[in-house]
Amino acid sequence: MRSAVNAGVLSLVIEQPSYGGEIGRRFEERYDGLLSSRPQHIYKALDELRGQGLVEPIELDDGGRLGQPVRGYRATGAGARAYRRWLRSPIQVGSRARHEVMVRLASTRPDDRHTAAFLLDAYEHAVLTLARNHPVRSDNVIDRLIDEERRTLADAQLRWIARARDELRTDSVEHGP
Amino acid sequence: MTLLRLDGVSKRFGRGGREQTALRDVQLQVAAGELVAVWGRRRSGRTTLLQVAAGVERPSDGSVRFGGVDLARRSMLGRPGGLAYVSTHFVRVIGETVLEHVGAPVLGGNASTSRAQSLAFAALRGVGAVDCADAGVDGLDQAELIRVAIARALVTQPRLLVLDEPTQDLRLARDRDQALELLRSLARRDGIAMLMTVAEAADLAGADRALTIDQGELRGLTQPAMGQVVELRRSRS
């Protein structure tokens, strides 16, 4: 799955079969700051997912508002498999790695700690590789300041990963493996 | 060639009737001339990792081998061609000048005082701190202190240096970069392997491998990367 918006929409449909408007609302909450949640993007994603056989239309109860069933979507078996493959597919080291990890983490079920741990490992690998390969320049004060900003960011990312692992361990103890 | 090898290493400390695990099933290999940096938070086990790797502390489980020698049977610390632990702690009774302190590790063997001084000069020159030779260790600034500490470690001509946060007291980015560049050049130029811990991601720059340690678990590429395989192409007739 190439489109992060499509993957995000698919994960929301897997979580709960839903109709377009509600998917858009949940998408905005879940991926705020990570992905664009314009309605046309959500409906385009649903069309594409349906065309690929990853979601299928169903009739849903509208919650008593109009007393009419509304057209919604649920994931197919192929959709569930595509979602799992996407979550665990390799993450390329590079400047987009953080975004990729965060979108996937936001798409991970709270009880799926194995996938969360996998994503943290991938994120850490990307951060370490970038930090290790970062050129050391001491030419002038501006270069040094820019380098310092990147390094400070890498430090914050590694600390966040370590804290995230602490949280997963604590959660595992409290709620079982 | 693997120089240092930790296999299934765990380390537990008993404190106040409660046992604490500092290292958990650590696997690590360091190749000759390789610079391996380990990032970790405080109390992550990073210092214990170095102490066990250097043979200063014995592991509770597992083995530590240096050049094939089991460090539980024979210490390689401070031996020529062995490993050296870089410390910025200097004991005053050893001597007054930097030259005396740097040469001290070889005086325990058969080296004469003049030979020790000669080796100490060479070590100080190698780290760009020969101007500090006649100074007292108390008068050194932090940037000089780490260089002198490295020189003292180098005087026994080790194949592996073990360093615990070598830049921790260097406030300026420029001083940190220069200290790290020195370590990288020692690895590249002299083929000396380095195993060091760092508290800031900035200090990972230029390392051959970067790892993390947390709650005693070492993560990342714990073995040297395999050499790139070049495909054999047969010429077509």
Q: Is B97 exposed, middle or buried (0-12, 13-18, 19+ CB in 10 A)?
A: middle
Shared domain check, A96 and A47: no
Q: Which structural domain range is residue A131 located in?
A: 91-175
pTM: 0.85
What total of structural domains would you count in chain A? 2
Last residue of one domain, picked from the residues A87, A105, A137: A87
**For the domain B1-82+158-227, what is the CATH code?**
3.40.50.300
- Exposure pattern of B210-226 as b/e (b: 16+ CB <10 Å)? bbbbbbbebbbeeebee
Last residue of one domain, picked from the residues A63, A87, A111: A87
Q: Do B201 and A154 touch (CB under 8 A)?
A: yes
Q: Do B205 and A148 touch (CB under 8 A)?
A: no
Shared domain check, A53 and A16: yes
In angstroms, rounded to a whole number, what is the distance separating the alpha carbons of residues A9 and A26?
Answer: 9
Q: Residue A2: pLDDT above 90?
A: no
- Model confidence at A136, pLDDT cuts 50, 70, 90, reads low
Q: Which of B223, B220, B224, B225 lies closest to B40, judged by CA?
A: B220
Tokens describing residue B99:
């030259």
pLDDT at B230: 56
Tokens describing residue A107:
């798409």
Domain edges within chain B: 1-82+158-227, 87-157
Q: Which of B59, B44, B63, B57 lies closest to B5, judged by CA?
A: B63
CA atoms within 13 A on the CB side of B76: 23
Shared domain check, A97 and A65: no
In angstroms, rounded to a whole number, what is the distance separating the alpha carbons of residues B98 and B102?
Answer: 6
Instruction: Name the average pLDDT for chain A.
Output: 89
**What is the amino acid identity at position A131?**
A
- Model confidence at A28, pLDDT cuts 50, 70, 90, reads very high
Shared domain check, A148 and A126: yes
pLDDT at A177: 67
Q: Do A132 and B37 touch (CB under 8 A)?
A: yes
pLDDT at B23: 97
pLDDT at B231: 57
Output phi, psi for B75, to 5 deg: -75, 140
Q: Is ipTM strictly over 0.90?
A: no
Helix (H, G, I), strand (E, B) or coil at B98: helix
pLDDT at B228: 47
Does A18 or B108 have the greater pLDDT score? A18
Pairing of β B83-86 and β A69-75:
unpaired
Shared domain check, A34 and A77: yes
Q: What is the pLDDT of residues B81-118, one digit of tens each?
A: 999 999 888 887 788 899 999 999 888 767 788 888 99
Residue among A146, A151, A163, A172 with most chain B CBs within 10 A, to mutate: A151
Shared domain check, A154 and A106: yes
Question: Could you tell me if A125 lies within 8 Å of chain B, comparing CB atoms?
Answer: yes
Low-confidence ranges of chain B (pLDDT < 70): 15-16, 109, 226-237
Last residue of one domain, picked from the residues A55, A87, A119: A87
pLDDT at B158: 96
Which residues on chain B are in Cβ contact (under 8 Å) with A136? 177, 180-181, 205-206
Q: Residue A139: pLDDT above 80?
A: no
- Give the CATH number of the domain where residue A29 resides: 1.10.10.10
Measure CB to CB from residue A162 to each of B41, B206, B210 and give the nearest one: B41
Tell me how far CA of residue A103 lies from CA of A44, A80, B213, in angstroms.
19, 17, 26
H-run or E-run covering B218: strand B217-219
Q: Do A132 and B209 touch (CB under 8 A)?
A: yes
Shared domain check, A73 and A110: no
Q: In what order do the strands lie in the sheet with B69-70?
A: B18-31, B2-15, B61-66, B69-70
